[in-house]
């Protein structure tokens, strides 16, 4: 479990704290989504979770290991993988296999074990045919898969996904999201998805809305759906379908529940006879 208690963080030379007094628990094998407008503190929060940033106040602990102790940082980073938005800024090797091996090499594993993990991780993301390929010649979606494999090769318990889809086309997004969910089911890895898209966040068990460095709301996707106009205030674009239901409900006599997320249910309500 990742536990944040009373965590605040101010960047060096920053005028106000990027994160203010956040307390939160993330369970093993949980899937949560973190949402919020640009500059709300989402990415700072992500970097606090794996000890890239250390809290100014409060404490972050991963499975009981506090990030305030320097000797805990290596085990924390082994447990908590962090995927960044832009794959080009994380790829550092000249061959896919070297890229994926970088993490296990840092953990000081035996060459045979590293080879084993590289092969397994690449198979998990269906990129095993590209093992001797230079990563920078791959497409955006393939690059993000390689980055993902690089994290999986470290066998993490938690994956923090910081806007992993921002550089991908719709098809790439869908494929990658499916992959994340598969990892969770097969490997029991907890997912923390940071995203701007409510549609993607709906896949999670819990959605946390961060605004102005603080937790604004924690709720299930159904809870979040019913927030209506409040969502826009915290910089989140409501789902198309919610806008549509909102418009319908303006008509006198029409009352459709606001927590409907799929078209089929809406059709059932609008045309009960069919």
Partner 1 sequence: MFRNISLGQYLPADSILHHLDPRTKTVAGLFFILAVFAAAFPLELFFIYLAGGLLLYLSRLRMIDFWPVFKPFLIIILITVIFQLLFIPGTPLFSFSILSISYEAVETAVTFTLRFVLLLFVVRLLTATTTPVALMDGLEQMLNPLRKLGLAVHELIMIMTISLRFIPMFIEEAERIRKAQLCRGADFRIGSLSSRLKNLFAWLLPLLRSSLQRAEDLSQAMEARAYQGGEGRTRLNILRLRGGDYAYLLSMAALLAAVLLV
State the nearest-atom distance from the C-beta of 105 to partner 1, in Å.
5
State the nearest-atom distance from the C-beta of 106 to partner 1, in Å.
4
State the nearest-atom distance from the C-beta of 64 to partner 1, in Å.
19
Q: Is residue 167 a contact point for partner 1 (CB under 8 A)?
A: no
Burial of 186 (0-12, 13-18, 19+ CB in 10 A): exposed
State the nearest-atom distance from the C-beta of 50 to partner 1, in Å.
6
Q: In angstroms, rounded to a whole number, what is the distance separating the alpha carbons of residues 23 and 120?
A: 36
Burial of 2 (0-12, 13-18, 19+ CB in 10 A): buried
In this chain, which of 40, 44, 67, 90 binds partner 1, going by CB under 8 A? 90
User: How many residues at the interface with partner 1, by CB under 8 A?
Assistant: 37
Token couple for 254: 């029409």
Task: Name the one range near partner 1 by CB under 8 A: 83-91, 168-176, 218-226, 232-240.
Answer: 83-91
Q: Measured from the CB atom, is 163 or 211 closer to partner 1?
A: 163
Q: Measured from the CB atom, is 95 or 241 closer to partner 1?
A: 95
Q: In angstroms, rounded to a whole number, what is the distance separating the alpha carbons of residues 119 and 112?
A: 11
CA-angle at 117, arms to 156 and 105, nearest 5°? 80
Cβ atoms within 10 Å, residue 205: 13
One character per residue 127-166, x = contact with partner 1 (rule: CB under 8 A)? ---------x-------------xx--x------------
In this chain, which of 36, 45, 67, 84 binds partner 1, going by CB under 8 A? 84
Q: Measured from the CB atom, is 100 or 225 closer to partner 1?
A: 100
User: Please, which of residues 91-110 interact with partner 1 by CB under 8 A?
Assistant: 92-95, 97-98, 101-110
Q: Measured from the CB atom, is 149 or 201 closer to partner 1?
A: 149
Token couple for 165: 């889809």
Burial of 166 (0-12, 13-18, 19+ CB in 10 A): middle
User: Please, which of residues 6-65 interact with partner 1 by CB under 8 A?
Assistant: 47, 50, 52
Answer whether 245's CB lies under 8 Å from 258's CB: yes
Nearest CA among 182, 208, 177, 221 for reference residue 2: 208
Q: Is residue 184 a contact point for partner 1 (CB under 8 A)?
A: no
Task: Name the one range near partner 1 by CB under 8 A: 34-42, 84-92, 166-174, 187-195.
Answer: 84-92
Tokens 């091996």 locate to 101
Nearest CA among 190, 101, 109 for reference residue 149: 101
Binding residues for partner 1, per CB under 8 A?
47, 50, 52, 74, 77-78, 81-82, 84, 86, 88-90, 92-95, 97-98, 101-111, 114-115, 118, 136, 150-151, 154
């Amino acid at each position: 479990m990742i536990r944040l208690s009373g965590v605040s963080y101010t960047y060096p030379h920053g005028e106000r704290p990027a994160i203010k007094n956040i307390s939160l628990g993330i369970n093993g094998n949980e899937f949560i989504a973190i949402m919020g407008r640009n500059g709300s503190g989402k990415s700072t929060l992500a970097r606090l979770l794996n000890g890239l940033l250390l809290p100014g106040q409060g404490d972050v602990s991963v499975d009981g290991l506090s990030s305030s102790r320097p000797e805990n940082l290596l085990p924390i980073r082994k447990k908590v993988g962090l995927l960044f938005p832009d794959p080009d800024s994380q790829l550092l090797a000249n061959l896919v296999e070297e890229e994926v091996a970088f993490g296990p090499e840092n953990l000081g594993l035996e060459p045979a074990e590293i080879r084993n993990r590289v092969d397994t991780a690449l198979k998990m993301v269906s990129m095993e045919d590209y093992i001797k390929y230079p990563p920078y010649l791959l497409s955006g979606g393939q690059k993000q898969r390689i980055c993902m494999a690089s994290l999986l090769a470290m066998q993490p318990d938690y994956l923090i996904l910081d806007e992993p889809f921002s550089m991908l086309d719709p098809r790439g997004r869908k494929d990658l999201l499916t992959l994340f969910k598969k990892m969770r089911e097969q490997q029991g890895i907890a997912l923390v998805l940071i995203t701007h898209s409510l549609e993607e966040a709906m896949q999670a068990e819990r959605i946390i809305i961060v605004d102005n460095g603080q937790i604004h709301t924690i709720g299930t996707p159904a809870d979040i759906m019913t927030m209506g106009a409040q969502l826009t205030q915290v910089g989140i674009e409501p789902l198309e379908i919610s806008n549509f239901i909102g418009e319908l409900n303006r008509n006198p006599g029409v009352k459709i529940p606001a927590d409907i997320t799929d078209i089929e249910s809406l059709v059932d309500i609008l045309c009960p006879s069919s």
